[in-house]
Every structure is written in C-alpha cells, then in structure tokens.
C-alpha cells in the first residue's frame, strides 16, 4: 500500500495511492482515496456531476501534489 500526504482546502489529508499513470502529453496523474480519520470516512474532494457538485473520497490528481510518499505493509 502506498500512502502519501495531500494538502487541499488548507488541510493535510493522508491518502492511499490506488493507481498512477502518465498521460499522452507527459503529465503524471495519481488516483487516490482519502483514508478514514478516527475511524470515520471523510470526503475531502469535490466532484462535479450532472446534478451539481458532490463530495467524494476518491480523486485523480497531479502526482506533483503528493508529499511524504511511503510504502507500508497492509
């Protein structure tokens, strides 16, 4: 499991990197999921849908936004 820190909305979140890939133009994108805080699921990401914005626990972000990347045993 790969764990990293992501700063968004002026807060640091611990996230799990689910997947990473490079786009055709060379950008590196990471698919991430926010880890629970005190055993409670969190939804720090805003996703735009046909019904309007909604909160989500997963997102695809530029890999350069990640810090403190480490691999841990599950």
Instruction: Please list the rounded mean pLDDT of every run of 10 residues in the chain (74 residues).
Output: 90 94 95 95 93 95 94 84
Q: Which domain holds residue 54?
A: 2-71
> Could you give the angle at the alpha carbon of 21 between the alpha carbons of 18 and 23, nearest 5°?
145
Instruction: Name the residue among 70, 67, 72, 73 with its Cα closest to residue 5.
Output: 67
Please report the pLDDT score of residue 9 as a whole number.
79
Please report the pLDDT score of residue 52 as a whole number.
95
Sequence-distant (6+) residues with CB within 8 A of 29 are 20, 21, 22, 23, 60, 61, 62, 63
- If one counts the domains in the chain, the total is 1
- CA–CA separation, 55 vs 64, rounded Å? 22
Please report the pLDDT score of residue 38 as a whole number.
94
For the whole model, what pTM was predicted?
Answer: 0.85
């Amino acid at each position: 499991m790969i764990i990293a820190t992501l700063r968004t909305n002026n807060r640091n979140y611990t996230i799990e990197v689910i997947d990473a890939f490079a786009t055709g133009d060379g950008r590196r994108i990471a698919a991430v999921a926010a880890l629970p805080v005190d055993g409670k699921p969190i939804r720090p990401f805003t996703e735009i849908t046909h019904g309007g914005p909604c909160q989500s626990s997963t997102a695809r972000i530029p890999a350069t936004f990640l810090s403190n990347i480490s691999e841990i045993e599950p």
